[in-house]
Amino acid sequence: MWNWITKHKPVLVTVLVTVCFALYCYGCESKTESLNSTKKQVTRQELQIELESIINLSQIRFADLDRQDELKTMILQNALVIVQGQPFNPLGILTGIATLYGVSQAGSNITKTVKKVAKKRKVNNGTG
């Protein structure tokens, strides 16, 4: 037996190293620091989920900023109309209020939908 091992030593070492390397490559996923926490290590898929979560959150915040800017613009336009001495227009004010209500409802619906999608992704990936 010892003679056979010494005769085939290069082949045995090559097979052993190859098997060990294959097990290492298959069993150990590459990890990096999380976007949310520097103490947590995440895989590629987990990093992608974190990135999508951050992008969705930024889209929600941009929608909120857009809604606030639209409200400011509408208030400024109505103030300019009043300052210019135009007659009081109750239909215009009702339209403005309806617009504000519609914009706020659209923003809240978008927020709910984005949160629901993010939660569903977490559940589907087994992280939530």
pLDDT of residue 59: 93
Higher pLDDT, 93 or 12: 12
Domain boundaries of the chain, sorted by first residue: 1-30, 32-125
* Three-state DSSP class for residue 42: strand
Structure confidence by residue, pLDDT tens digits, 69-128: 888 888 788 777 766 766 666 777 788 788 888 888 888 888 888 888 888 777 766 655
Instruction: Please name the residue that has the structure tokens 């939660």.
Output: 119
Q: Are 114 and 56 a contacting pair, CB within 8 Å?
A: yes
Structure confidence by residue, pLDDT tens digits, 20-48: 888 877 777 788 888 887 788 888 888 99
pLDDT of residue 21: 84
**DSSP codes joined into one string, 62-105:** HHHHHHHHHHHHHHHHHHHHHHTTPPP-HHHHHHHHHHHHHHHH
pTM for the complete prediction? 0.47
